[in-house]
Structure 1
């Protein structure tokens, strides 16, 4: 029942004019900002830790905007996952080095795609531009019907393979060595297992060094992808491949990843996934921050 309701809503959202859809997302975001107090506190705490120099009133505006972007991009998944390639291309602008997705690459490519709210739009748009195999890692949804629909929707364009985190690293490395593409989102707190502590806005953050390790094991280059919500849809930027990466030092590489991410967040602070408890895992002896 729940799966039918959610999928039905997405089909309804898919055909609404984008300005109306965004207006509904704005309204829902305002409501949730008021009603969902626990998650609002998480967002405000994250912004306080990362931007202590910013006035509280401004951080609160960013937090409110973050809820709006969360709701708008959730509703946008209707047209992102259901509308035609023509609609997707028109609404999702793609800039950058498309040659990194060409068929003549001499090595695998890792698309480092941080958790900005537009990441699903970025994945769908990029899948339209390549015939190479794209591997994406996902976390199983609690509802089996929703989980199956999300997997199929994310893989509807191109040759996309969805791998569960429990599948391990072997299929990921194998795909990269076959000159495939890996859509990687390693900037969340996945717990203490296999994480290392590196600075994120000056705060020690448990971070998986998977970007460095997959690049090393898969002999792949790293191409950052930054997705931004715009009034007319999305702007997806493919940035130049990182030089001297991996360096052979996974800790230094992971710190570099966070440092680069900080710069992009400063460009659009309300569009990062602040609803996540990024600093939940603390170094030994440090008190919780939430």
Structure 2
């Protein structure tokens, strides 16, 4: 028995990885079927999904309502309700839209870009050789932006891994394409952050979603739509310590037709304060810039995200999403 125990091989982890991979591939097969539907069908499905969210008042509906109460306290109830409906409709359409973008060739997806603005800023920043940080808020379709960036230049993208191993494996599948070798996905974890510093010091490009709430202790509070929000200090640290150029980027919907949506790609220079060595100054400028982008068309911003769960220490404020 002792010999058997010593000689036994634990196949559990291997079996688990295989099951995870199989589940991810099944999800991908389903997503591929959905992605092959005509655009007009996808838009109708999105509208039906939004209507269902509102009728059942599911999590997405409740979170949007709470965020709008916090960010737009002066709106009349009817105005806020109209914005709530518009946000859910746009968000639901984006869910179906993104499934198609994930499962169709990236070169085909990029034909949806009707306009490009400020791309010379990125070319100039790359040529300067000091490194480039692309700050990409959750506005418009950030997956299309990722595909454009990967087509344009090799880059590293910072991401927070999902709790589900199956979902992470699925995302690795849907983001694979002919440009997959040009993208290094870096987990938002301590040791991995060193990769970002090295890439920027070598003159490379790094992509960061700047409006995700960091863990407690990993950020500073600053106003976002007039409400204190814990905000990442990493972007400012990277910029101030490496001298990298910071550009804000987003793909904004500009039209919708039966043959698919159209987008405008924007690249804007970040305010100098985003790179300030003082983290409080940097996060305040970061939030102000993201808010300016989100106000361009609030329906295209990701209001389904719980941005304000963590509250300033000593404020006495409660998590606004608790029990709702």
TM-score of the superposition, structure 2-length normalised? 0.81
Give a deviation string over 1:93-116, Cα, whole Å, max 9, x none: 451222344463421111111112
Between the aligned partners of 2:240 and 2:317, the Cα distance in structure 1 is 34
Q: What does 1:1-290 correspond to in 2, within 5 Å?
A: 2-102=23-123, 104-130=127-153, 133-156=154-177, 157=179, 159-166=182-189, 167-229=191-253, 230-231=255-256, 232-243=261-272, 245-285=274-314, 286-288=316-318, 289-290=320-321
The structural deviation recorded for 1:120 is: 1.2
Q: Which moved more, 1:85-94 or 1:116-125?
A: 85-94
What's the Cα RMSD here? 2.2
Contact 1:225 1:237 in 2 (8 A): yes
**SS of alignment partner, residue 169 of structure 1:** helix
The structural deviation recorded for 1:117 is: 4.5
The structural deviation recorded for 1:149 is: 3.1
Contact 1:175 1:181 in 2 (8 A): yes
Contact 1:140 1:147 in 2 (8 A): yes
Between the aligned partners of 1:152 and 1:185, the Cα distance in structure 2 is 20
The structural deviation recorded for 1:284 is: 1.9
Number of aligned residue pairs: 288
Contact 2:131 2:200 in 1 (8 A): yes
**SS of alignment partner, residue 185 of structure 2:** strand
The structural deviation recorded for 1:152 is: 4.1
- Structure with greater Cα Rg: 2
The structural deviation recorded for 1:71 is: 2.2
Per the alignment, do residues 95 and 212 of structure 1 end up closer, same or farther by CA in structure 2, a change over 3 Å counting? same
**SS of alignment partner, residue 205 of structure 1:** strand
TM-score of the superposition, structure 1-length normalised? 0.90
The structural deviation recorded for 1:187 is: 1.0
Contact 2:24 2:169 in 1 (8 A): no
Between the aligned partners of 1:194 and 1:86, the Cα distance in structure 2 is 37
Between the aligned partners of 2:106 and 2:218, the Cα distance in structure 1 is 39
The structural deviation recorded for 1:137 is: 1.5
Between the aligned partners of 1:123 and 1:105, the Cα distance in structure 2 is 22
Instruction: Specify the alignment match of 2:3 in structure 1.
Output: none
Between the aligned partners of 2:61 and 2:311, the Cα distance in structure 1 is 21
